[in-house]
Structure 1
């Protein structure tokens, strides 16, 4: 198969589930509160945040620019749009991720993601489903799933630390 005949987009879907000892309302607030969301979603060891803006409403979104490690590494971007929000139950969003290159952007993927919150005894079950289009040379679906699983672990730590 010639390079021109090979598919240039890889598609993938994954689901990550977590149970938290927090109500669906508390888990939802950890998404809707800009400070809490930034703590568990964007802040971590070895990441530098260059830009962060969140507007949590249907039609709003968030924009982030990040760098992992030292200045020799690429700066990444995440441009997200909120498509549907049902308090304490559901968040649907679309996002594009990639690298910042000079004055432009090199897109690596485009995704549709749904977060569902379901009461589970005294806690909440979170079901995160992502459907992605991974563009030429982008990371694969397994890497994205691992990254999302790590973020949901960070959400759990946020909920425990603010109990």
Structure 2
């Protein structure tokens, strides 16, 4: 018999960008712009497929492979609420190969601050069977937000 478990957690990341809320929002909403930071290929990461329907009730899909023969990571999201240039809320599932790692609810808020915009990301996750964990997810999210900075900041 396999040991089955769930773990739950919440983390929040605040990041100030030297960019307008509209520019940051556009980086999430526009498929070509989002591909520059969310699905950007690297020596270790190769995009396979993606679909982007950024609207309330819309879905997003991204699938990439680690290396030439490595595992395939799959992100599938559903957008619950979108308030242009202000906030959006989505839920998503992460898989590696065919194994579900987690399901999360994420909110992103954009608040004007002196010199730009503060992005506040809050994620509530459920991790399955010890296959993923909060520190790793938070680290990966911070790295992704670093790449976003290169796209939105002048």
What interval of TM-score do these two structures reach, taking the shorter chain for normalisation? Answer: over 0.9
Query: How many residues are paired up?
Result: 153
Contact 2:47-2:65 at 8 Å conserved across structures: yes
Q: Which residue of 1 aligns with 2:14?
A: 17
TM-score (norm 2): 0.94
Aligned with 1:146: secondary structure?
helix
Choose the corresponding residue for 2:52, options 43, 51, 54.
Answer: 54
1:27-38 matched pairs, under 5 angstroms: 27-38=24-35
Alpha-carbon distance between aligned partners in 1 of 2:51 and 2:21, rounded to the nearest angstrom:
24
Choose the corresponding residue for 2:142, options 114, 138, 149.
Answer: 149
| Structure (1 or 2) with the larger CA radius of gyration | 1
Q: Which residue of 2 aligns with 1:138?
A: 131
Cα shift at 1:70: 2.4
Aligned with 2:105: secondary structure?
strand
- Alpha-carbon displacement from aligned partner over 1:50-96 (angstroms, at most 9, x marks no partner): 1111001000021011111221x111111000110000000100000
1:2-151 matched pairs, under 5 angstroms: 8-45=5-42, 46-71=44-69, 73-100=70-97, 105-151=98-144
Alpha-carbon distance between aligned partners in 2 of 1:51 and 1:82, rounded to the nearest angstrom:
19
**Greater Cα shift, 141-150 or 130-139:** 130-139
Aligned-residue Cα RMSD (Å) equals 1.5
Cα shift at 1:158: 0.7
Alpha-carbon distance between aligned partners in 2 of 1:22 and 1:44, rounded to the nearest angstrom:
24
Aligned with 2:23: secondary structure?
helix
Alpha-carbon distance between aligned partners in 1 of 2:90 and 2:35, rounded to the nearest angstrom:
16
Structure 1's unaligned 5+ residue stretches are: none
Cα shift at 1:39: 1.1
Q: Which residue of 2 aligns with 1:159?
A: 152
